[in-house]
Amino acid sequence: MQQYTITITVYADADPSEILEYAIESGEDIVRRIEDCGDSAEFLEEEVAVVCEDNGEVYGGDQYD
């Protein structure tokens, strides 16, 4: 399998942990869609992070601990 990195910029007045939850759900949905097409995919929740560009705070993503 090849590794793909997806970058999505979102402008919102929302709690970063809520955005992180939605990003994780989106990753799970992408894997489901790929598998529905007969291909294989995996998704690692611990590799999903939300970065607040205003203050540099990072939410989620074990690689940022």
State pLDDT tens for residues 7-60.
999 999 999 999 999 999 999 999 999 999 999 999 999 999 999 999 999 999
Res 65 pLDDT > 70: no
Res 64 pLDDT > 70: no
CA distance 12 to 30: 22
Distance between alpha carbon 5 and the CA centroid of its chain, in Å? 9
Greatest C-alpha distance within the chain: 42
Give CA angle at 12 (48, 6), nearest 5°. Answer: 30
C-beta atoms surrounding 60 within 10 Å: 21
